[in-house]
Amino acid sequence: MADYLETLYPGYGQRLQIDELLYEGHTDQQHLVIFRNALLGRVMALDGVVQTTEADEFIYHEMLAHVPILAHGAVRKVLVIGVGDGGIVREIVRHAGIAEIVAVEIDASVIELCRTHLPLHSAGALDDPRVRLVIADGLDFVATTDERFDVIISDSTDPIGPAASLFSREFYRNCQRCLNADGVLATQNGVPFLQSAELTDTAQRLAGTFTDWGFFHAAVPTYIGGSMSFGWGSNSGKARATELAVVRERFAQSGLRTRYYNAEIHQAAFALPQYFLELIGAAHKVP
Ligand code: AG3
């Protein structure tokens, strides 16, 4: 039986047994593999990095979607940068109050291959009439659009390869421009224990861009190395300061049934370990 070896980190990594290979090939932009693993269900990897597994995707997708949406509380229009497997869009369409979702993806074939071989991730959400799919570069989209959003979610790959520009000052500045007054940007920002420079760099860039910025976190088992950080930027401190009782009320009202997210987890996710705070603090010392 063949193994899939993740190549994200030199000298350390995870091995996943390929119990059934479902797809392997090169898209225009990336190397994509989808396979079945007995323990994790279907697994999708891009350019040597595990992107998602059926077993633990709920943690990532629930946190990256519901934290900003319920912190804001009155979201009508959302922008997703990086549709990929469709897991984020699936969580967003579960909010009845959301009227419009613009979903941008640079690599159209990732969407199609995931629809076919990883169908539980998008679960039909990409056919929801509120969703408008746009095949474009994420940075170009935010740099040129006239549209405004209540929440922007960046579900990118790591800042190596096609997603590097989604961690740039220019990207954050354009997201800031595209947000409504109390709007929130939430981003995938790597695993700080192993990708420490990413947390320091992003902190510095967010600090130079947004009135209110910070991080929240969650441990996703197949993003090895401990907790994953999620970036946060807003033109007002309102959403991040939402009190527990209010988050509880909004969560109850939403009728969402989740497997990881709840109001207490939402609030606790903003409490950062000391080593995160030190890396963020280092941002202020970088000239
Ligand atoms: N995209 C983020 C995967 C990041 C993996 N990086 C890592 N382990 N450091 C996930 C796509 C899910 N829709």
Which residue from 67, 73, 69, 74 is spatially nearest to 93, judged by alpha carbons?
69
The reported pTM is 0.97
Q: Indicate which residue's Cα is closest to atom 2 of ligand 1.
A: 157
pLDDT at residue 282 tops 80? no
131-186 pLDDT per residue, tens: 999 999 999 999 999 999 999 999 999 999 889 999 999 999 999 999 999 999 99
Q: State how beta strands 212-219 and 100-105 pair.
A: unpaired
138 is in an annotated binding site: yes
Which residue's CA lies nearest to atom 7 of ligand 1?
A: 223
Instruction: Tell which atom from ligand 1 comes closest to the C-alpha of 86.
Output: 13
Q: What is the mean pLDDT of residues 193-201?
A: 98
* Ligand 1 mutation target, pool 4, 46, 51, 156, most atoms within 8 A of CB: 51
Q: Is residue 26 a known part of a binding site? A: no
Dist CA 136 CA 159 (whole Å): 18
Spacing, Cα 216 to ligand 1 middle (Å) = 15
155 labelled ligand-binding: yes
The percentage of residues in the chain with a pLDDT greater than 90, rounded to a whole number, is 96
Going by CA atoms, what residue is nearest to atom 11 of ligand 1?
51
CA atoms of 139 and 143, how far apart (whole Å): 6
Ligand 1 nearest-atom number relative to CA 87? 13
Distance CA 149, CA 183 (A): 7
Quote the percentage of the chain above a pLDDT of 70: 99
The pLDDT score that the predictor gives to residue 161 is 83
Amino acid at residue number 120? L
**Mind listing the pLDDT tens digit for each residue in 8-54?**
999 999 999 999 999 999 998 999 999 999 999 999 999 999 999 99
Distance CA 256, CA 251 (A): 7
Alpha helices for 93-212 (secondary structure H): 108-117, 119-122, 138-144, 169-178, 196-207
Confidence (pLDDT) at 221: 98
Q: How far apart are CA 239 and CA 256, in angstroms?
A: 19
Task: Give dist(CA 57, CA 202) in Å, integer.
Answer: 24
Cβ atoms of 2 and 18 within 8 Å: the answer is yes
- 61 marked among binding-site residues: yes
Average pLDDT value over all residues in the chain: 97
Asked if the model's pLDDT at residue 58 lies above 60, the reply is yes
Q: How far does residue 204's CA lie from ligand 1's centre (Å)?
A: 21
The pLDDT-based confidence of 260 (bands split at 50, 70, 90) is very high
Q: Is 86 in the pocket of ligand 1 (CB under 6 A)?
A: no
Catalytic residue numbers? 155
CA distance readout (Å), 263 to 96, 141, 251, 266, 273: 18, 32, 7, 5, 19
157 CA to centre of ligand 1 in angstroms: 5
pLDDT of 287 higher than 70: no
Q: What is the CA 239 to chain-centroid distance, rounded?
A: 18
pLDDT digits (tens, 9 = 90+) for 206-243: 999 999 999 999 999 999 999 999 999 999 999 999 99
pLDDT higher than 50, residue 249:
yes
Determine if ligand 1 sits within 6 Å of the CB of residue 43: no
